[in-house]
Structures are given as structure tokens and as C-alpha cells.
Chains A and B, each alone.
Chain A
Amino acid sequence: MRVSFFASLREIVGARDFELSLPADATVRDLAEELVRRWPELREQLFTDEGALSRRAAIYLDGRNVRWLPDADATRLSSVERVAVIPPAAGG
């Protein structure tokens, strides 16, 4: 699974993207925790103080924000090819 980062998150991670292997039954939450384990600075982007997934940076599975998926952060990653982690972005 390829994990890509955009905008300011690249500066934290120091790369555009990387390949990640997680156990077959891993969920979005497992992924977020793995990312924070590797780059602790991502915690405030990915999690709220209460430990829920934050709205600051969004995780997209094959182009879909997990926020809009029925199982949200419990969604399993087994069939996902592409993950994107994106901070808030808008403009004209």
C-alpha cells in the first residue's frame, strides 16, 4: 500500500510517499497509530486530545475520506491500494 502526504505534512514526514505493509486485518486507526509511531509530530494532525481521529488532517482510502465511509476509522485496509494524508486545503 502506498501512503502519500501532501502540503505541510511532507515537511513533517520528509517524503512525498512511502510503501507500508500492515497486518491483513489492520484498520484506519491502526494506520494512523503507525504513522504517529514513526512521526510523533503527526499526532496533533491526526488525533484529537480525546484520541478520536482529528479533522485537521484527513485520511483518504483510494480517494475517499474515511470520514464518509460507513465504518470510518474502523474500516479495514485489506483491499486499499492508495492512502493519502491531506491537511486542510482550499482556495479559488
Chain B
Amino acid sequence: MDLQKFGQAIVHVDLASGQTQMRPAPADWVKKYIGARGLGVRYVLEAGPEVEALSPANRLCFMNGPLTGSETSMSGRWACVTKSPLTGTVTDSHQGGWTGARLRWAGLDGLVFEGRSDHPVYAFVEDGQVFLRDASDLWGKGIHETVALFEERYGEKDLSVCAIGPAGEKMVRFAAWVNEDDRAFGRGGTGAVGGSKNLKAIVIRAPRAKSRVGDDGGWKAARRTALDAIRDEKNITSPRKGGLSVYGTNVLMNPVSNIGALGTRNSQVTSFGDKAEKISGEYVKEHILVDDPTCHACPVACKKEVEIKDGPYAGLRMESVEYEPAWALGANCDNDDIGSIAKLIDQCNDLGMDPIELGNALSMYMEATERGFAKGKGLAWGDTAAMVALTDAIAQRDGDGDLLAEGPTLAAAQMGHEEIAMAVKGQALPAYDPRGLKGMGLGYATSNRGACHLRAYVAAAELGVVPIEADPLEWKGKGGLVKAFQDIHAFSDSMDLCKFSAFAEGPEEYAAQYASAMGEAFSADDVTAAGERIYNLERYYNNLAGFREGADTLPARFIDEPSTLAGSKGHVSELGSMLDEYYAARGWEDGVVPEAKLRALGIL
């Protein structure tokens, strides 16, 4: 089966009237902004950057990229793009699994939701059409039960379900959409936007097709070259040999703790010491790993399914114990119990919440308790039973949970101590301490969706897994490096290929695959140019939404409190110096894109 050329089939859904309309994406938007993340941001911009994130006027876009659903390796991804209720910036988040691919097999490239339904609904997608159906009986249910009920209703075969849980319905500011039971549009609170619109789920029925895109000869060759790179034993993506494939993302826990870059106890210190081992990828593999699931068209299989054998969560079988949530709910909360970490991640998958934000909300609350200014009952470091109970309360906005459902930044502000929220632009930090990996700190500060490891992921250079290497403790040179990584990832997120493809592929491979899929000439330089344009489009949105001079910052802890532990001892983030370099490389004025730059990039 040949897939349709990307961009022709975007369905606009007005949730207030129930009307749907198929329209092609404007051709110049597809050309300039590629798909998925870039195209989604352009649709969200059209609704106006001043909209309230949880109002009917906000747009909620689910966007495929030009390669989604093809047999291109690592192409089983799609993006959710909207204005974030957590940050007030534009945000995009990406899911693996099969749901994005299935949307393509059902004949669609994207869904743009507007308005608000007056009762709970779900969108049923089949044969290129979208039907809104009543979801009143599903409101209040967890995601695992919701998926099971849809599978009962429509049959398991050829079905994908992407849903919100109670957290989205209650508009927890870091609520997530989850598909395949456990793959999340995790960051930015996209699930709360779904809840605000009374949209419970997207259900897609379409048979799996071995699908190719674009011109046959060129695409096959481009796909083969990229696949060879992914399989190359010297790359961490190498199936069943590379660290990412064998141990999953949690292969990072021990190394990052070793170099003094693992934020611990709400980033009060920079290493989890010997306790890191007990929550590491190595420990998981040795003790609880039962399977290595994958996503559509991916030979890497980095997902890690586990079964807990003893303790209060014995019998729990879940996926996936990833590095980020294992850190957020582990070292960050002084918790070295892997069983409770698996339980908390599974709660996030079922309730529909971002575990990174949850872990930071809990660790912030633990520090507030330690310092004696917590509102409510408080929470002790590493108290796993209380963490599990509070997670349920957050999703339901019960008691102390209601405070933390606002996210760590707003919750800390309500306690009068914003300084203990480890966040940028309202979104919490991921698992790399900016004192031990300085480029990552600059990446957090300048990310267009609030603190984020994935916008730049210069850790790949700072940890030495890509040919460009950079000393993690040197700030000089990080400005240009972060810009280059942000631009390339803006492009890969718009195609939409898994982020981890960048451990094996580069602009040449991306260009060849994109060119053959779209049937047009496209070079490596075009890849970086498009990435830069998309990054500036997001920044333009944020500038219009009020994020201007001085908005690119880090919590004072990383600038004023030197690391005390080996690897990064004595270091702080030299953010000001790095920002000077970065803005020079970007051609921005203190974080604001000048009009001339917007015109030169074709955005205006």
C-alpha cells in the first residue's frame, strides 16, 4: 500500500458544534514547517498566542509527520501540540507506539480540535472519517480500563486508543494523553487541554499496512542507509547490543550519577551515590525485566517491561521503567525502591500524568516539608506509601493533591517559596543537573516549552555518544552547540522520527528520507534551515505570549549553589555567559526574535 502524500488530510473538529471538516494543510506551511511539531505549532499560532490554554479557543492538534506510519525505521511517532496550561508557552509532546501510524493507515495526517463539547465525547477515526461519540460512561475511568473497554467495544485487532485519565478530566496542569496503555504525550499538560474540551479519547481503527511513501527507489535506498546506521554495532541503538537497546534509557542512571549530574533530593545535591545502582538499568535487567517492547518499525526496542516480584507491589507488571521517571520518582525524591518507582510510573500511565512533573512536585513538597513551610500534611523524603497515596490525590485534586496538581512552580509559589521549584517557565527539570552537564542547563533555559532535555539533548555530545564531543563542565562553545542540536531535533520532531534516531543518523540521512517521501529535492542544509525556522516560529509564539527579555533562566540553585559531590564538585551553571553565546548564534535580542530575522526565515 502506498501512503498518501503528507499534508492532504487534516481533519478539523469543532467540539462545540460537533462538525468535522477535512482540509489539506496550506502547502507553504508543509513546505516551511514539515509536519508534526512544526506544522502543529503553526496551527496553534493561528488560534492566537493570547488564548487561555484551558479555554475553548485553544487548539489541540494531533499531528503526524511525513514519515509517520511508513516502514521508515523509528517512524511510529506523532505529536500533540497546543498552548500549555502548565507554562503558557506553545508546547509539543510526542508518543511512540502505533497510534500515529494507525492514523496514517486510516487515511489521515492530523486532527485539529477546537471548542468545547457540552458533554464527554471521544473521536472515532476510521476510513478517513472522524465521528464524535458519547463518552459519558467512560468519564472518571483510568486509562487502562478505558483502553480495555474500547477493545471490548471495537475488538482489539487493528485498534489504537489514546486517552486521558482522571488527571486530564480534573485539569491537573501536567496531565498527559497516553496510548497503548503506556506511551505518553507526557510533558506540558496536553491532557488537561483534552479535559477542558471534554475530549476523553481518540480511537482509531485501521488495518496495519506495510506502507511505503514517495518514490520507491529513492525511499528504499534512504531507508536502508538509515537502518544500517541504527544497526551499526558502534552505535548505542544497535539492536540487542547497544546500551539503549539492552538496558533502555535507564542505562544512564549510574553514569550520570557517577559524573555528579544526577539531581538528588530536589537537586540539593548532584549524585545519588551507591543508591543509584538500585534504580539503574543494570539492576532492572538483572532483577525485574520481563520483556523489551518496541514501537512501530523500530528494531531498537528500548522499552523495558518489568514484573515486581516482592514487596507491596508484588505482581505488578508494567512498562516502561525509563530513566526520566525512574530519576524523577527515585533519586530526586530520595527513593531507591524500584518496586515503588514502577508502581508510581504505572499510576501515571493509568491516571494520565507526566511522571517528570509529578516527581518534581513531590520532591518540591518534600523539601518544603523538610524546611518547615509545607502547606497541608507534608511528605517525608522517600516515603513511598505516602507518595503513592498522594499521586492518587493529585489526579483527583483531593486534599493536598489539589495544591500539587498545579505543578511544582505554582504550588511552591502558593507556599511563598518559589525558589524550591526546580523549573523553567513553569515546567520542571528533567534528569540532568545543569551543574554537571552545562550544555543541558542552557538547553533547559532556552527550550521553547519550559525545561526540557529533549529540545536540544546536548547530553549526547557531553556524554560522548555522537561524533561531536564536548566537555560537560566547560561552558564555552555551548551556545552554538545547543542551537545546532535544537535545530536538528526540531526537524526530526517534525518528520516525526524518534529522537533516538539522532544517535545513529544525521542531517544527511534525514534529508534523504524526507526528500524521497515528499518527492522533492531536500539537502542536509535544508534540514538545519527548516529546524531553525521551526525553532524561531515557536519562539515567536512565546514572545507574543509574553515570554520576552529575561525569560530564559534557571532556578537560582544551579547558578548560586556549587555542586558538592565528585564529578562536578565546585561547579555552578555559567548561564549568563552561555546565553550571550547562544543569543549571538541565534541572532536574537535577549531571547526575542527580531522582526528582520522572522522575515529572513520566511515566518512573516
Which residues from chain B contact A68 at a C-beta distance below 8 Å?
A: 471-474
Q: Does B469 contact A (CB under 8 A)?
A: yes
Q: Is the CB of B259 within 8 A of A92?
A: no
Q: Is the CB of A92 within 8 A of B246?
A: no
Interface string of A2-28 (1 = CB under 8 A from B): 001011101000001000000000000
Chain A minimum-CB-distance residue to B459:
A90
CB within 8 A of A63: which of B241, B249, B463, B568?
B568
Q: Does A51 contact B (CB under 8 A)?
A: no
Chain B minimum-CB-distance residue to A58:
B464
Q: Does B510 contact A (CB under 8 A)?
A: no
Interface string of B209-221 (1 = CB under 8 A from A): 0000000000000
Bound Cα distance A56, B260 (Å):
21
Chain A minimum-CB-distance residue to B453:
A92
Which residues from chain B contact A7 at a C-beta distance below 8 Å?
A: 243, 246-247, 251, 254, 281-282
Q: Is the CB of B247 within 8 A of A90?
A: no
Which residues from chain A contact B500 at a C-beta distance below 8 Å?
A: 91-92
A89 touching B243 in the complex, CB below 8 Å, given contacts A63-B260, A67-B464? yes
Interface size counted on chain A using CB atoms at 8 A: 25
Q: Does B302 contact A (CB under 8 A)?
A: yes
Q: Is the CB of B260 within 8 A of A90?
A: no
Which residues from chain A contact B271 at a C-beta distance below 8 Å?
A: 63
Nearest Cβ on chain A to B463's Cβ, whole angstroms: 6
Q: Is the CB of A90 within 8 A of B244?
A: yes
Interface string of A26-44 (1 = CB under 8 A from B): 0000000000000000000
CB within 8 A of A86: which of B255, B473, B474?
B255
Which residues from chain A contact B323 at a C-beta distance below 8 Å?
A: 91-92
Q: Is the CB of B469 within 8 A of A67?
A: yes
CB within 8 A of A6: which of B244, B255, B565, B566?
B255
8 A Cβ contacts from A64-84 to B = 64-65, 67-68, 82, 84
Nearest Cβ on chain A to B336's Cβ, whole angstroms: 16
Interface string of B488-499 (1 = CB under 8 A from A): 000000000001
A92 touching B499 in the complex, CB below 8 Å, given contacts A7-B243, A7-B281? yes
Which residues from chain A contact B251 at a C-beta distance below 8 Å?
A: 6-7, 89-91
Bound Cα distance A89, B254 (Å):
10
Nearest Cβ on chain B to A15's Cβ, whole angstroms: 12
A90 touching B252 in the complex, CB below 8 Å, given contacts A7-B246, A10-B282, A16-B277? yes
Q: Is the CB of B281 within 8 A of A63?
A: no
Q: Does B150 contact A (CB under 8 A)?
A: no
Q: Does B9 contact A (CB under 8 A)?
A: no
Which residues from chain A contact B249 at a C-beta distance below 8 Å?
A: 91-92
CB within 8 A of A62: which of B246, B322, B566?
B566
Interface string of B237-250 (1 = CB under 8 A from A): 00001111011111
Q: Is the CB of B566 within 8 A of A89?
A: no
Q: Is the CB of B464 within 8 A of A91?
A: no
Which residues from chain B contact A88 at a C-beta distance below 8 Å?
A: 236, 242-243, 463-465
Q: Is the CB of A89 within 8 A of B255?
A: yes
Q: Is the CB of A90 within 8 A of B258?
A: no
Bound Cα distance A34, B574 (Å):
39
Q: Is the CB of B258 within 8 A of A63?
A: yes
Bound Cα distance A68, B277 (Å):
25
Q: Is the CB of B567 within 8 A of A64?
A: yes
Bound Cα distance A57, B465 (Å):
10
Bound Cα distance A60, B460 (Å):
17
A90 touching B463 in the complex, CB below 8 Å, given contacts A56-B234, A63-B566? yes
Bound Cα distance A7, B246 (Å):
9
Chain A minimum-CB-distance residue to B260:
A63
Q: Is the CB of A63 within 8 A of B567?
A: yes
Chain A minimum-CB-distance residue to B280:
A6
CB within 8 A of A89: which of B252, B260, B277?
B252
Q: Does B79 contact A (CB under 8 A)?
A: no
Nearest Cβ on chain B to A14's Cβ, whole angstroms: 13
CB within 8 A of A8: which of B243, B453, B565, B567?
B243
Bound Cα distance A30, B309 (Å):
43
Chain B minimum-CB-distance residue to A86:
B255
Nearest Cβ on chain B to A61's Cβ, whole angstroms: 9
Bound Cα distance A22, B547 (Å):
56
CB within 8 A of B463: which of A8, A82, A84, A89?
A89
Chain B minimum-CB-distance residue to A91:
B249
Nearest Cβ on chain B to A31's Cβ, whole angstroms: 16
Bound Cα distance A86, B251 (Å):
10
Q: Is the CB of A89 within 8 A of B465?
A: yes
A65 touching B464 in the complex, CB below 8 Å, given contacts A90-B459, A91-B500? yes
Which residues from chain A contact B258 at a C-beta distance below 8 Å?
A: 4, 6, 60, 63, 84, 86
Q: Does B307 contact A (CB under 8 A)?
A: no
Which residues from chain A contact B302 at a C-beta distance below 8 Å?
A: 91
Which residues from chain A contact B252 at a C-beta distance below 8 Å?
A: 89-91
Q: Does B324 contact A (CB under 8 A)?
A: yes
Nearest Cβ on chain A to B503's Cβ, whole angstroms: 6
Nearest Cβ on chain B to A71's Cβ, whole angstroms: 15
Q: Is the CB of B453 within 8 A of A64?
A: no
CB within 8 A of A55: which of B236, B248, B464?
B464
Which residues from chain B contact A58 at a C-beta distance below 8 Å?
A: 464
Q: Is the CB of A63 within 8 A of B243?
A: no
Q: Does B61 contact A (CB under 8 A)?
A: no
Bound Cα distance A82, B474 (Å):
22
28 contacts between A and B (CB under 8 A): A4-B258, A6-B254, A7-B254, A7-B281, A8-B241, A60-B567, A62-B566, A62-B567, A63-B258, A63-B260, A63-B271, A63-B566, A64-B567, A65-B259, A65-B472, A68-B471, A84-B255, A86-B255, A87-B243, A88-B243, A88-B465, A90-B244, A90-B251, A90-B252, A90-B465, A91-B500, A92-B249, A92-B322
- Other A-B contacts than A7-B246, A63-B566, A86-B255, 16 sampled, CB-CB below 8 A, are A7-B281, A16-B282, A60-B258, A60-B259, A63-B259, A63-B260, A63-B568, A67-B469, A82-B566, A84-B255, A86-B254, A88-B236, A89-B252, A89-B463, A90-B236, A92-B499
| CB-based closest 6 A-B pairs | A63-B567, A91-B249, A63-B566, A88-B465, A90-B465, A68-B471
Task: Enumerate chain A interface residues (CB-CB to B < 8 A).
Answer: 4, 6-8, 10, 16, 55-56, 58, 60, 62-65, 67-68, 82, 84, 86-92
